[in-house]
Structure 1
Amino acid sequence: MEENIRTSIIICTRNRREILLRICNSIVSQTYTNYEIIIVDSSDKEKITHVDLEVIFGKTKFINIIYSEPGLTKQRNIGIKAAKGELFFFFDDDLILEDDFLEDMVKVFKDNNDYFGGMGAMTDIKVATFKTKLYTRALRFFLLRHGYGNGKFRKSGFPGFPHGKKMFLDTEVLSGGITAYKKEVFDEFEFDEHFSAYSYMEDIDFSRRVSKKYKLFYNPRAKAEHRHAAGGRGNYFENRRMYMYNHRYIFEKNFPQILSNKLAHFWSIIGLYVFATWDWKKAMTAIKGYNKGLRDYRKATHK
C-alpha cells in the first residue's frame, strides 16, 4: 500500500444530529489526516447539513453527505459505492475516537499486506466482577456470545468478540461500528440488505463471510469510547425478535449444517430463553420477542 493511504470514513446515522457532531469533533482531532468523510443520513428530522459540518471541519470538498432511506446495511452499501479511498472505515455515530485511532489502524495495514480488515478497541468495557464472570461462564456453557471472547466463531453461530483483550489478535469476528476494510474486499462482498432497519448482527454476518477468505485483526492500540445512545434499536420486544430471527438466519446462511453444529445452535437458543430470566422485569417481553422471531423466521423460510 502507498505510504500515505487515503481513507474513507463512512458513518451511517438516523435522527442523532448532536451525537453525530460529537464523533465529527473526534475525527477532526485525528493525527492521521488523509481521509474523506461520507455521512449517509436517513433522518426524517434534523438532517445533517454541510453548514453543520463546516463549523467543525471548515470548508472542504472531502465531506460527502448522502440522504437515504433507513436501513443500516443499505446505508453502508450506499457509502461504499461513494467512497474513493483505499481503506474504508465504518464508525457508529455514537463513538468518540482517541486522537491516534486512524494512525494506529492504518499502520497495521501498511506494515502487513496480509490483513484485509480489522477493528479497534472499545475503552468502555467494564471490569469483570464476580457476578459478571459467573454470567460469562454460563454464557459459554450455552455457546452464546460474550464480551471477552477469543475472536473466533462458535459452532452455535455466535461470535466471541475480542472486546477487552489487551493483545493484538488475528480474529474472525469484527464489531461493525469500529472496523476498517481494504477497498478490494468490496469488489467481492457487500453488506446483506436482508438485515433491515437497525440490522442487528449484520457485522457478524459480514465478518464471517470475509474471514473465510481474508485475514482480519483486532488492534487494542486503536481506541474509541462507545457512548451508547438511546434510540435506534427499537423497543425491547422488537430488539429480541430481531436478535432471534437474525441468529437463525446467520447460522443457516454461514455455517455447515452438520449435526454437531445444529445441536450447538439449538442449545444456544435454549440458552437465550434461560438468560431471558436474568432480568425478570423484562423476561416475558424477551420470551415473547424470541417466540415471534422464531415464528417469523419459520414463515420466511417456508414460503
Structure 2
Amino acid sequence: MKEILPIDIIIPTMNRIIALRRTLDRITKSDKYPNKVIIVDQTQDNKKRQEISNMLRDEFEILNIEYIFQKNPSLTKARNIGFKASESEIIICMDDDVDVENNTISNVYEIMKNSKISMIAGIDKNDINEDKKINIASNMGYVFYKKSFLKRNIGHVTKSTFGRFPVNFEGNIHTEWAMGFFFVIRKPLVEVWNLQWDEKLISYAYAEDLDFSYQYYLNSKKNGYSCIMSDKVIVTHLATREWRISSKKETFMLIINRLYLNYKLFKSPFARLSYEWSNIGILLERVLHKDNYKDFLDLWYISYKYRKQIKSGEIPYYLID
C-alpha cells in the first residue's frame, strides 16, 4: 500500500470522460496517494454521466473518490462544492486534463510542511519547454500592460486584470496568483479569510482562478505567509479539446469577466485605463493575425453598453447563450 497523505484533490469536470480517465490514471501512478479525490461532475447528458460514474467505480477503486453531481454547470460553483466536501488541510485544485508527475503530490506535501507557505502555483511543463527569450509578442505585452516589466521575475497580476508567470521557473519563485489548472491552498486559511470562488462568474468562468488566488495572495501577504511557484511542482496541462466552449464565448469572457474583476479587485482610475489600453493591444494582435477581431469589437462595445450592470456583478451572459 502506498502512503496516504493529508491532501484532498478537487477536480471539476464536464463531458470529459477521456481526459478525466487519463488525469486519474496519472494520480494512481503517484508515489504517494491523496487522502481523497473529489470529482464534481457537471455533465448534463444522463448516459454520459452514468458512463463517468461507472468509470470511477470500476477503474479507480484504488483511490478514495467522492463523486458529486452538480445540476447547474458552473466552474466556480463546482470549486465551492468540492471545497466544502474536502477534509484535509492541504487542498489541490486542478483541472480534469492534467498529467501529474510521479512525485508531484509528495513534493506538494514536503513544501507545505513549511507552515509559512500558504499557496503553491503549479507550473506547466509546456511553459518550461518554451523559448525564454523576449520576442515581439512579449514586447507588445509590456507595451500594452498585459504584463509588467518591473515584475517580470515573479508571478504577477496587472492592473489590466491579467495574470502572468515569471520569465523563468528555477527554484521557488514569489507569485501573486495561480492558474486554475493546478494550485495548492490551505483550507483553514480559506475559511478564516472567508474566501470563495465568485459564483457571479458562471460556465467556464474565465479568470475565476485569478480572482480567487489574487485575493488569497493579498490575505497571505497581510498575514505573513508566502505564495510561491516551485520547480518541484510541475504538471502538464493538456488543454484538451474534448469539450470546449465557443470562441465567441471565450472572447466575451476575456472582455466582460475581466472588466467585472477590474472593478472588483482594483479601485483606481489607473486600473480602468490599463484595462482599456490592454484591450487595444489585444485588438491590434487580432487584426495583425486576422483572428476574428470583429467579435472582439462587438463584445467590447457590449462592455460599454452594459458597464454599470457589469460593475455590479450582473454579467449579461444571456447575450451569448
TM-score (norm 2): 0.84
Alpha-carbon deviation of 1:104? 1.1
Q: Distance in 2 between matches of 1:261 and 1:20?
A: 38
Alpha-carbon deviation of 1:298? 4.0
Q: Report which stretch shifted further, 19-28 or 117-126.
A: 117-126
Q: Distance in 1 between matches of 2:243 and 2:105?
A: 26
Q: Distance in 1 between matches of 2:297 and 2:105?
A: 41
Contact 2:181 2:237 in 1 (8 A): no
Alignment partner of 1:277: what SS?
A: helix
Alpha-carbon deviation of 1:294? 4.1
Alpha-carbon deviation of 1:99? 0.8
- Residue 247 of structure 1 corresponds to 258
Code of the aligned partner of 1:283: Y
Indicate whether 1:14 and 2:14 are aligned: yes
Alignment partner of 2:19: what SS?
A: helix
2:109 is matched with which residue: 98, 106, 114? 106
Contact 2:156 2:176 in 1 (8 A): yes
Contact 2:19 2:242 in 1 (8 A): no
Q: Distance in 1 between matches of 2:291 and 2:181?
A: 29
Q: Distance in 2 between matches of 1:291 and 1:91?
A: 34
Code of the aligned partner of 2:92: F
Write the deviation string for residues 118-158 of structure 1: whole angstroms up to 9, x where unpaired: 1221111252387x721011011101159x76212223232
Code of the aligned partner of 2:173: L
Q: Report which stretch shifted further, 268-277 or 25-34.
A: 268-277
Alignment partner of 2:33: what SS?
A: coil
Alpha-carbon deviation of 1:281? 4.2
Indicate whether 1:181 and 2:185 are aligned: yes
Indicate whether 1:285 and 2:295 are aligned: yes
- Residue 136 of structure 2 corresponds to 134
- Residue 36 of structure 2 corresponds to 36
Unmatched tracts of structure 2, length 5 or more: 221-225, 315-321
Q: Distance in 1 between matches of 2:22 and 2:297?
A: 36
- Residue 199 of structure 2 corresponds to 193
Displacement over 4 Å in runs of 4+ = none
- Paired residue total: 296
Q: Distance in 2 between matches of 1:164 and 1:88?
A: 26
- Residue 223 of structure 2 corresponds to none
Indicate whether 1:262 and 2:264 are aligned: no
CA RMSD of superposed structures (Å): 2.4
Q: Distance in 1 between matches of 2:44 and 2:4?
A: 38
Contact 1:236 1:286 in 2 (8 A): no
Change (3 A) 1:34 1:163: farther
Alpha-carbon deviation of 1:212? 0.9
Alignment partner of 2:164: what SS?
A: coil
Q: Distance in 2 between matches of 1:129 and 1:283?
A: 28
Change (3 A) 1:42 1:50: closer
Alpha-carbon deviation of 1:239? 0.9
| Structure 1 residues 1-303: aligned runs within 5 Å | 5-45=5-45, 46-47=48-49, 49-58=52-61, 62-68=64-70, 69-110=72-113, 112-125=114-127, 126-128=129-131, 133-145=135-147, 150-162=154-166, 165-187=169-191, 188-214=194-220, 215-230=226-241, 232-257=243-268, 259-301=269-311
Q: Report which stretch shifted further, 197-206 or 182-191.
A: 182-191
Write the deviation string for residues 102-123 of structure 1: whole angstroms up to 9, x where unpaired: 111111110x211111122111
Change (3 A) 1:23 1:164: farther
Q: Distance in 1 between matches of 2:174 and 2:279?
A: 28
Q: Report which stretch shifted further, 259-268 or 185-194.
A: 259-268
Q: Report which stretch shifted further, 35-44 or 293-302.
A: 293-302
Q: Distance in 2 between matches of 1:78 and 1:296?
A: 30
Alpha-carbon deviation of 1:18? 1.3
Alignment partner of 2:165: what SS?
A: coil
Q: Distance in 2 between matches of 1:106 and 1:88?
A: 10
Q: Percent of counterpart pairs with the same letter?
A: 23
Code of the aligned partner of 2:21: L
Change (3 A) 1:225 1:34: closer
Q: Distance in 2 between matches of 1:93 and 1:213?
A: 28
Change (3 A) 1:129 1:220: closer
Alpha-carbon deviation of 1:183? 0.9
Unmatched tracts of structure 1, length 5 or more: none
